[in-house]
Structure 1
């Protein structure tokens, strides 16, 4: 029997890949994201029986409205994947007000709003999965706010796991590494020369971004499938996922 799974940030990237994978496996997927047209496009790919709702995770009114709509159709959900995030590097001196607020509200405060509104639907057997990043321990240059919000999310997840156990809700963290879509390999859509400065700043710290292993969204969905499908007597509190360095090919 398939599960009912809500995913934030489901219009693109990992969220979209998860929606397609889980729907193909027979689960019912609830797509949440800021841009309804993107969600509807994903719905068109995964078929009937699923749901899309516009949801700006950093806006509490938007989150409340989205989950009110979800509750009308699904009085119970099995899994919530807090995936939505803004990933953008910058230095402290250039950090604009709107960028700081957008990233903090989406990456850190947003999961709180979403988990709070989803909690009544998760009680008694639900599973909350928060998506973090390997950059928390890599500590890459220019990603201090992204890393800080993800580190905070990991700490909250740990505490939520203790708090919600009595309500029958499991909490897991999947700390994912760099990922890409082979069909769209252009990489992050960063402004101006940000990408070049990011690579140079990390090179000065000894991090050669060109040599860092990278996985595909499709492969990482296998990890989420395993986390979701753990036996009832097994719980994964934390899972770290990184790219696997490929062996160098010999020219001989």
Structure 2
């Protein structure tokens, strides 16, 4: 009845015309399938008592979805097909498992605005950095802009190897962080280890064998041992010719040599 009422209010003549539905604050506990609205893009279901989201199984065109202030405890398998979502509000629910919730949203490469606050999962250690790392497209998280510093911290926490490589090759600088440095406790963190070049592999010997157990170690070693190019230039106008030296017509001046190095 709530859906039919909204269709009449908006004056939609056919299901194909429906691009927005406002079903907020209706006291709804369940909603029938919305699969007939194939072009639905904007959906408000906030401030109800919804516990299940299976009614969204066919709404692939959704770009904005407002599910805040409901009774959701798990969204696994309910939203991952909504790859066009740009705005998703899930705050003020009962979502408890951060890993499962974020996994459901990983395929949303266009997701820019996400609210997860006021859910039990927000008390998970490093909650914000975890979401930032695994959902890199999100720019506004819990009504707060994601900063570059937060992205760097998330990368250092959840992928220290990649962070080290990126830091070492950026602007031709070497990394300040040692490969043996460990990262603070957190989800999915591992102790960074120093790659060891196997004996006999330093100069490409024994090419039939794989020189590293972990292919990423090869990247790290290559980053440390980058090739170096050096260019030097001299102002030859200040260099005395052999005839000038012989006749002593021109005083000898110290040479100014400009050297530039590239990595």
Q: Which has the higher strand share?
A: 1
Greater C-alpha radius of gyration: 2
TM over 0.5: no
Please, what TM-score do these two structures have when normalized by structure 2? 0.27
Task: Kindly indicate whether structure 1 or structure 2 has the higher relative contact order, using CA contacts under 8 Å at least 6 residues apart.
Answer: 1
- The structure richer in helix per residue is 1
